Amino acid sequence: MLNITNNKLNKTVDISGFRSGQRVFHKRHFKYFNRFLKIFAGITFVILFLPWTQNITGKGYLTTLKPNQRPQTIQSPIPGKIEKWYVQEGDFVSKGDTILFISEVKNEYFDPQLVERTGQQIVAKELSVGSYKEKVKALDAQIGALYRERTLKLEQARNKLMQAKLKVQSDSIDLQAASTNLKIAETQFNRTLTLQQEGLKAMTDVEAKRLKLQETQAKLISQENKLLASKNEVINASVEIGRVNASFSEKISKANSDKFTAQSNQFDAEGQVTKLENSRTNYQIRNDLYYIRAPQSGFINKALKGGLGETFKEGEKLVAIMPSDIEMAVETYIDPIDMPLIKIGEQVRIQFDGWPAIVFSGWPNVSYGTYGGKVVAIENYISENGKYRILIAPDSADHEWPSDLRVGSGANTLALLNDVPIWFELWRKLNGFPPDYYQPEPDMKTAQKDK
């Protein structure tokens, strides 16, 4: 029976007559099984030539397309103490609505009338500026009067100098006349003396001529003294001009010095006024910062600082808010080896967490529960997880994304690449080759613009 001897039992005994033999050695069983194998091999062969869409899978989460639509926290630019809450978690707030009220914790801002007192200081400084302006005007008038007076004094001194010079000229002429008269007197005296010696003139005539000669000499000496006195007056007039210039220059310089001092004080007061106005504006703005307002419309997610009387520093997070008007997007990551395959405008299929889906990665047309998207941004620098970040926006040509999606929920992405036969994809997978490089088809509008 077990065929362990040289006597073959199956050759000597016919077991086909037995019921068990008939069931085991039924030839129709092999016939059906072989037919099944042939049909299966044919179907498998046909499937190998069916088109398969190459893809890149990724795991990401929902975010917003614009940075200003993402969840954010509200901070206070100044330190303070919480005094009153106007909202609770889950409330909807519009842009500009008051969320909470805080009070001051720095002692230099405790005065409730700080803005009014600063305004009074500004008024006082402005009056001081006006006083300095009036003083500058008075000094300008004084300087103008000094200039006019100096002009008159100098003109008077120049007139005296001119008179002295004319007097010198007149005395010089008189001196020349006296000198001529002296020569004539000397000639007459000598002639009369000669005639007297010859006996033609009397001694009285000689004495008369001698007397006249002495008088002429006296007049010459007197005229010389007058000329010297006139020259001295010219010198005195010149010295007077210099004295007048020096005197008025000193007075004008002193007045200018007082004027510049007044202007310096005026400018300093104006600078203090500007500084006080800046401080008053800062105080007014600081008072407005006591009311923490919503930067945009949205929902209050969580109060990060709770209670009343709790203090905080500037820049600390107080409230988390989620904007209401947002454009959803998916943020996903791809491996560096797949980075060259992704282009802006690339089509992507997305499966959202919480939405049932049947996904055939290579046959996106027969997948159920997936939504279309397009790549709108690709990060140029690798992320901390060793992958590249891409941003996917809804595809306007596909059906809309579910309205109940929330930021932060998970999403699986399939970036669709080239269409290849299944046998090629299996061969690529077995050899570990990357998907085919390709270029996405350009948009028709863009192509028309390029033309």
Domain boundaries, the chain: 1-48, 52-69+326-450, 72-104+290-323, 114-288
Q: What percent of the chain has pLDDT over 90?
A: 24
182-186, 196-200, 309-313, 397-401: the lowest-pLDDT one: 196-200
pLDDT band at 8; cut points 50, 70, 90: low
Asked if the model's pLDDT at residue 358 lies above 70, the reply is no
pLDDT at 362: 52
Asked if the model's pLDDT at residue 352 lies above 70, the reply is yes
Kindly state the average pLDDT of the residues 351-356.
Answer: 77
Report the range out of 37-51, 273-287, 365-379, 435-449 with the highest average pLDDT. Answer: 273-287
3-state secondary structure of 352: strand
pLDDT at 14: 67
> Is CATH 2.40.50.100 what the domain over 72-104+290-323 is classified as, yes or no?
yes
Fold of 52-69+326-450: Elongation Factor Tu (Ef-tu); domain 3 (2.40.30)
Buried b (16+ CB within 10 A) or exposed e, 389-419: bbbbbbbeeeeebeeebebeeebbbbbbbee
Kindly state the average pLDDT of the residues 364-391.
Answer: 80
| Cα distance from N-terminal residue to C-terminal residue, the chain | 88
Asked if the model's pLDDT at residue 336 lies above 80, the reply is yes
Please check whether residue 79 is in contact with residue 106, taking contact to mean a CB–CB distance below 8 angstroms: yes
pLDDT at 108: 87
Per-residue pLDDT reduced to its tens digit, 129-164: 999 999 999 999 999 999 999 889 888 888 888 888
| 29 vs 23: CA distance, rounded Å | 10
Per-residue pLDDT reduced to its tens digit, 115-131: 899 999 999 999 999 99
Asked if the model's pLDDT at residue 321 lies above 70, the reply is yes
pLDDT band at 209; cut points 50, 70, 90: confident
Kindly state the average pLDDT of the residues 425-449.
Answer: 57
Asked if the model's pLDDT at residue 335 lies above 50, the reply is yes
pLDDT band at 186; cut points 50, 70, 90: confident
Asked if the model's pLDDT at residue 274 lies above 90, the reply is yes
pLDDT at 281: 92
pLDDT band at 365; cut points 50, 70, 90: low
pLDDT at 439: 47
Asked if the model's pLDDT at residue 169 lies above 60, the reply is yes
- Helices (H) then strands (E): counts for the chain: 7, 14
What architecture is domain 114-288?
Orthogonal Bundle (1.10)
Kindly state the average pLDDT of the residues 87-91.
Answer: 90
Single-letter residue type at 136: V
For residues 361 and 338, the model is more confident at 338
341-350, 385-394, 415-424: the lowest-pLDDT one: 415-424
pLDDT band at 54; cut points 50, 70, 90: low
> What secondary structure, in 3-state letters, does the chain show?
CCCCCCCCHHHHCCCCCCHHHHHHCCHHHHHHHHHHHHHHHHHHHHHHCCEEEEEEEEEEEEEECCHHHCCEEEECCCCEEEEEECCCCCCEECCCCEEEEEECCCHHHCCCCHHHHHHHHHHHHHHHHHHHHHHHHHHHHHHHHHHHHHHHHHHHHHHHHHHHHHHHHHHHHHHHHHHHHHHHHHHHHHHHHHHHHCCCCCHHHHHHHHHHHHHHHHHHHHHHHHHHHHHHHHHHHHHHHHHHHHHHHHHHHHHHHHHHHHHHHHHHHHHHHHHHHHHHHHHHHHHHCCEEECCCCEEEEEECCCCCCCEECCCCEEEEEEECCCCEEEEEEECHHHHHHCCCCCEEEEEECCCCCECCCCCHHHCECCEEEEEEEECCCCCCCCCEEEEEEECCCCCCCCCCCCCCCEEEEEEEEEEEEHHHHHHHHHHCCCCCCCCCCCCHHHHHHHC
Contacting residues for 246 by C-beta, under 8 A, at least 6 apart: none
> What is the number of other CB atoms lying within 10 angstroms of the CB of residue 168?
19
pLDDT at 15: 64
Closest CA to 182 of 220, 221, 226: 220
Kindly state the average pLDDT of the residues 83-93.
Answer: 91
Place of tokens 């997936």: 370
| 123 vs 120: CA distance, rounded Å | 5
Contacting residues for 437 by C-beta, under 8 A, at least 6 apart: 340, 341
Kindly state the average pLDDT of the residues 189-216.
Answer: 79
For residues 127 and 342, the model is more confident at 127
pLDDT at 450: 46
Sign of CA dihedral 31, 33, 38, 42: positive
Per-residue pLDDT reduced to its tens digit, 91-119: 999 999 999 999 999 888 888 888 899 99
* Average pLDDT score, the chain: 82
| 174 vs 178: CA distance, rounded Å | 6
pLDDT band at 276; cut points 50, 70, 90: very high
3-state secondary structure of 239: helix
